Structure 1
Amino acid sequence: MQSIRNIAIIAHVDHGKTTLVDKIIHASKLFRDNQEFGDLILDNNDLERERGITIVSKNVSVRYKGVKINIIDTPGHSDFGGEVERVLKLADGVCLLVDAFEGPMPQTRFVLGKAIDLGLKPIVIINKVDKENCRPDEVHEQVFDLMFNLGATEDQLDFQTLYGSSKQGWMSTDWKRKTEDITELLDVIIDNIPAAPINEGPAQMQITSLDYSSFVGRIAIGRVHRGTFKEGQQVALMKSDGTVKKMKIKELQTFEGLGRAKAEEVSSGEICAMMGIDDFEIGDTISDVEVQEALPRISIDEPTMNMLFTINNSPFFGKEGKFVTSRHLRDRLFKETEKNLALRVVTTDSEDKFLVFGRGILHLSVLIETMRREGYELQVGQPQVIFKEGENGERLEPIETLVVDVPDESAGKVIELATQGKGELLIMEPKGDLQHLEFNIPSRGLIGMRSKVLTATFGEAIMAHRFKAYEPYKGPIPGRINGSLISMNSGSVTAYAVDKLQDRGVFFIDPGEEVYAGMVVGEHNRQNDIEVNLQNAKQLTNMRASGTDTNVKIAPKIQFSLEESMEYIQKDEYLEVTPQSIRMRKIYLDPSVRKRMEQKMEMA
């Protein structure tokens, strides 16, 4: 029986997890010497590569000194916390990766807390010691204090620390001694992480993630908790509602290298993929037919934000997308809930509107971006936070911990912006040449905060936040102050019209673009919305004008990313998302209907 080590790599976003996994893959010679491969081998979908973040956790296994090491690369962003919690169930130990300058960040605390609660043995890797003004010894002390504060046991506090640079491909127990490669890390994993326990008895496994293949359908992935599963075996699937279904395993696979290999049987401690199991959910237990025992279900943090998803009914619908009907939208959203645990979809009284609940703006925007790339057209409303009612009938709202590292001269601006969003400053201390600020702030106050902070600090702020708890409502937060510029007519935008209107505000469109009546084309420099005519052309005559025509100078349009657009829109606006465009529009395109609705809202 081969010995197995199951290890999850956890860290804050951008601290170098996926790069480290790359180097482990190289060190264990999974590729032939002449084989071509890129960087960030595990971030294999376009969205992950473009944003430089891991969204879905992935498994890879390497063999070293006769031991099989299953490595699980986890997301670092708090919006994908649902992914991390499930994945830790597969592991016996964790590699905590910390940046040698930034030290433990809020997301590090969130994931490490989960790992310590599960009793996993940590190995600490202080990464990026090649960076200027890094402070490995201080960071090592901070990690120890953090673990102590999270209630780690003595065994967990007696952790092994490695220093190095994933990018340069070396790891060492002393940061002043640079080694040739990262084999010291693999040795430490084998020596410190306990081998996967072998539990004898009737077979039992919990489904912690799933895969999909167009040939065999859904594939259940999990770690065998007890006993042995064999190909062709009859098993019982135990669902959340207490029902039990009998099924047959068609095929078993284990993770080998970057892929999967077929296996006749899989014993306890090994991570495997099982084909032939239908109609399962994440958290269900697969067990022996004779001895039906369910494992405790995985609990996932509740969503804190919701958005209205609806079909695209703008004048430009169907021009770019393949999937435009409410049936397409419904099927796609419900399909997403099968594998995206922290997401919930609720139908409304209208056939073509759905409320989608998620963990934050990034969580929802990744879903929208994935859908538009698949050819869907849809519209989404303004993100809303989810309120709850307390025991005494008081209104509760989600509060988050916001951490900002910012240059000294910009700290005042950041504190002012956070205070406007009802943030409360808890900690302000120097961290190298930066100021380290920590706030408690309502989730509502974070909507639109990132772009404001980056503008105020000339892009130098490092921001991170994580959900803390539901606390009493903090009072109203002022939204966007300026009104919108709304197109009066449909048609092509002329440079002449934009030039004449530049003193009214800033534009989100360029001359030559097609717009429709009711579309939001810019931001007014006052508080009210106004309609503008963008199709005005210059009247040409054969009379010579007394003044010479000056060249039209038009300021470039403001280009919004998907998240910035989601944070920018108001309650009476939708975001229209198609495979090639993102447009903002008023919910009611007709100005007279818009006025009637405004009056109704005021009366209500």
Structure 2
Amino acid sequence: MSHPEFRNVAIVAHVDHGKTTLVNAMLEQSGAFGDHGEVADRVMDSGDLEKEKGITILAKNTAIHRKGLGKDGTDLIINVIDTPGHADFGGEVERGLSMVDGVVLLVDAAEGPLPQTRFVLGKALAAKLPVIILVNKTDRPDARIDEVVEESQDLLLELASGLEDPEAAEAAEQLLDLPVLYASGREGKASTENPGNGNAPDSADLQPLFDVIYNVLPEPTATIDAPLQAHVTNLDSSSFLGRLGLVRVHAGTLRKGQQVAWIHYDPEGGEHVKTVKIAELLRTDGVDRVPAEEVIAGDIAAVSGIDEIMIGDTLADVENPVALPRITVDEPAISMTIGVNTSPMAGRGGGDKLTARLVKSRLEQELIGNVSLRVNPTERPDTWEVQGRGEMALSVLVETMRREGFELTVGKPQVVTKTVDGKLNEPYEHTVIDIPSDYQGPVTQLMAGRKGQMLAMDTNPGSNWIRMEYRVPARGLIGFRTTFMTETRGTGIVNSYSDGFDVWAGEIKGRPSGSLVADRSGQVTAYALQQLADRGSFFVEPGAETYEGMVVGANNRDEDMDVNITKEKKLTNMRSATADATVTLSKAHTLSLDEAMEFCGNDECVEVCPDVLRVRKLVLSATERGRARAREKARNK
């Protein structure tokens, strides 16, 4: 029996450069959708949040079957990993790269390499993986294909020269000899010939891409006759089979019903070896998982029957249990506290999961499949510190829990610090900002206030846009995006990636506005909002319930102000023709979760419920807050 040939490849790129659309076209042209009828756009982005945000959050795999295209007429199976393009989900990228033998790097034909392009390419080069550059969206009217290819190759050489491993650096420089592909994922076309700016490739389909993947990327270095070694790289679940472990088979053959050695790592007790049975074995066929009797070395499959299987575990031969290296990821840079809802309105926000036991259980469940997340206990038994790569990664977790029915109290995001040689160090970000030149002054001033150091500034000839690059403490980017979009009237683009740790940059001033805080419980009245209209902007509408310590708006001044938002108009027996004329109020600004987390001050938190979001003070009592401020002033004297 002739075995199929395999190619395991990851599609990596900056966010919104077209990875998932390209994978969609690859699946469609391979007949993966069969008779499914109408196929959803970006089928790989299956999560609700992925569809809403238009980004990939979780690395997912699919298998593209090309009949008779392998050696001697055997079938070719291309296992494709669709990875996130946002640096906040870098753990997913690193996990995805551990499953493949090569990488297709997508670069937008107009935007060129951007910060996350550098991030994902650097990870691929460090893993010594061959990289094929694919210039996508060549049919964009503002495409600049030749310049983008040159920029991508320059980036490749720059990253290669910075690698600590000499062998990896030498291998990276040889990648310049690999072919460059040109594609339009939306049109489902690819070519090795430059189609010219603004044109789709002159080809019928994506066959040139499949040919390059087959001819250029290496076949998995795996031996079918060797003792079994399979690496657990991802987790999933099934309503029928329970927890599923997604494994890359590095050696040997994995069979349904087989007894295998499960090598599990416990941080406290080290490695444990236990004999288990593979209850069910599933292979990926397009977007579906289908039962299989066996999976050979080089392929990727899902196994069931091991309830406590974890990412990084190894399934090995019972007689010769040898573990594969653990999957390692970069350290987290941002943390925040997540706990039960402790506001006076707890239990009234539409949630049904309110207890500390449920919150703790859900966070522990998240640790199983999220390799870049950490959960640490705090002084309070109902609150935990959650650490991740960035604000977006943490906000996605909170939003997911919110949709599952949890009511939570979420603290302001903070940076994760560490001490190096007796000095306090904090994480830094390399930030790239694209703005119209009209906003250069305000943005420069904004970055200066956040301790940003300008590294470069370029102008685009024939365009009114400029690009500025900064090295800025990650602490300075917390709450930055909302202010940035306001300053640039929604036209600016900002991207960043981790730039390591460095010495603490000093105090960074927070948001320019203070909070308007309700000083009592009750219903918001239109009369009170009208009387306070000149104090700032509000987050609540008339009729909304409020409580003491709840933040109801943003103050025009940089100080907090306690306000009576429930004040009613006094009734008298005097009337005039215009006394009860309709009150016109500015529309309240309803905060999204991201906006609420960015607005949140050091002494504030966010009340997250399925039906409502509220910002509140950590200490609700205005009297207690006043005493705390007095004690702080006394200590500073």
Question: What TM-score range do you get, normalising by the shorter chain?
Answer: over 0.9
- The aligned residue for residue 470 of structure 1 is 501
- The aligned residue for residue 546 of structure 2 is 515
Task: Give SS of 2:180's match.
Answer: strand
Distance 2:493 2:425 in 1: 29
Is 2:254 aligned against 1:229?
Answer: yes
Contact 1:164 1:178 in 2 (8 A): no
Distance 2:634 2:287 in 1: 61
Deviations 1:342-377 (A, max 9, x none): 111111232111111111110100000000000000
Distance 1:34 1:592 in 2: 64
- The aligned residue for residue 294 of structure 1 is 323
Is 2:179 aligned against 1:160?
Answer: yes
- The aligned residue for residue 164 of structure 2 is none
Task: Assess, with a 3 A threshold, how the Cα gap between structure 1 residues 603 and 261 changes in structure 2: closer, same or farther.
Answer: farther
- The aligned residue for residue 156 of structure 2 is 147
1:94-109 mapped onto 2 (5 Å cutoff): 94-109=103-118
Deviations 1:522-561 (A, max 9, x none): 1122233222112222234442238655542211112322
Contact 2:13 2:107 in 1 (8 A): yes
- The aligned residue for residue 93 of structure 1 is 102
Task: Give SS of 1:242's match.
Answer: strand
- The aligned residue for residue 258 of structure 1 is 287
Deviation at 1:470, TM superposition (A): 0.5
Contact 1:303 1:343 in 2 (8 A): yes
Distance 1:294 1:32 in 2: 39
Task: Give SS of 1:143's match.
Answer: helix
Distance 1:57 1:257 in 2: 15
- The aligned residue for residue 189 of structure 2 is 170
Residue number among 363, 376, 390 corresponding to 1:333 in the alignment:
363
Task: Give SS of 1:201's match.
Answer: coil
Segment drifting more, 82-91 vs 520-529: 520-529
Deviation at 1:279, TM superposition (A): 2.3
1:52-91 mapped onto 2 (5 Å cutoff): 52-64=54-66, 65=69, 66-91=75-100
Distance 1:3 1:381 in 2: 51
- The aligned residue for residue 556 of structure 1 is 587
Is 2:114 aligned against 1:112?
Answer: no
Task: Give SS of 1:229's match.
Answer: strand
Residue number among 395, 401, 423 corresponding to 2:452 in the alignment:
423
Task: Assess, with a 3 A threshold, how the Cα gap between structure 1 residues 18 and 420 changes in structure 2: closer, same or farther.
Answer: same
Residue number among 236, 239, 243 corresponding to 2:264 in the alignment:
239
Is 2:427 aligned against 1:408?
Answer: no
Name stretches of at least 5 consecutive residues in structure 1 with no aligned partner. Answer: none
Task: Assess, with a 3 A threshold, how the Cα gap between structure 1 residues 290 and 601 changes in structure 2: closer, same or farther.
Answer: farther
Task: Give SS of 2:153's match.
Answer: helix
Deviations 1:485-509 (A, max 9, x none): 1112222211111001111111111
Distance 1:349 1:426 in 2: 41
- The aligned residue for residue 192 of structure 1 is 216
Identity percentage of aligned residues: 46
Distance 2:393 2:102 in 1: 27
Distance 1:527 1:512 in 2: 27
- The aligned residue for residue 460 of structure 1 is 491
1:360-379 mapped onto 2 (5 Å cutoff): 360-379=390-409
Distance 1:157 1:551 in 2: 70
- The aligned residue for residue 528 of structure 2 is 497
Task: Give SS of 1:596's match.
Answer: helix
Segment drifting more, 145-154 vs 343-352: 145-154
- Please report the TM-score for the alignment, with normalisation by the length of structure 2: 0.92
Contact 2:32 2:285 in 1 (8 A): no
How many residues of Structure 1 are paired with residues of Structure 2 in the alignment? Answer: 603
- Please report the TM-score for the alignment, with normalisation by the length of structure 1: 0.97
Deviations 1:122-167 (A, max 9, x none): 1211111222222110010111111111215244222221112212
Distance 1:273 1:343 in 2: 23
Task: Give SS of 1:239's match.
Answer: strand
Task: Give SS of 1:526's match.
Answer: coil
Residue number among 305, 319, 324 corresponding to 2:354 in the alignment:
324
- The aligned residue for residue 50 of structure 1 is 52
- The aligned residue for residue 230 of structure 2 is 205
Distance 1:544 1:295 in 2: 84
Distance 2:222 2:561 in 1: 70
Distance 2:278 2:630 in 1: 62
Segment drifting more, 62-71 vs 495-504: 62-71
What one-letter code is carried by the residue in structure 2 that aligns with 1:175? P
- The aligned residue for residue 390 of structure 1 is 420
Is 2:313 aligned against 1:284?
Answer: yes
Deviations 1:29-88 (A, max 9, x none): 222367122111111111000000100011111112331111110000000000110111
- The aligned residue for residue 14 of structure 2 is 12
Deviation at 1:602, TM superposition (A): 4.4
- The aligned residue for residue 165 of structure 2 is none
Task: Give SS of 2:245's match.
Answer: strand
Residue number among 103, 122, 146 corresponding to 1:137 in the alignment:
146
Distance 1:467 1:603 in 2: 39
Distance 2:447 2:202 in 1: 42
1:422-441 mapped onto 2 (5 Å cutoff): 422-431=451-460, 433=463, 434-441=465-472
Segment drifting more, 53-62 vs 552-561: 552-561
Deviations 1:81-118 (A, max 9, x none): 00110111111111100011111111111111111122
Name stretches of at least 5 consecutive residues in structure 2 with no aligned partner. Answer: 70-74, 161-168
Is 2:608 aligned against 1:567?
Answer: no
Residue number among 30, 47, 54 corresponding to 1:28 in the alignment:
30
Task: Give SS of 1:160's match.
Answer: coil
Segment drifting more, 210-219 vs 512-521: 210-219
Segment drifting more, 351-360 vs 62-71: 62-71
Deviations 1:407-465 (A, max 9, x none): 12222222221111100000111235221111100000001111111111111111111
Task: Give SS of 2:472's match.
Answer: strand
Task: Give SS of 1:418's match.
Answer: helix
Distance 2:318 2:152 in 1: 46
- The aligned residue for residue 180 of structure 1 is 204
Deviation at 1:589, TM superposition (A): 1.4
Deviation at 1:214, TM superposition (A): 3.5
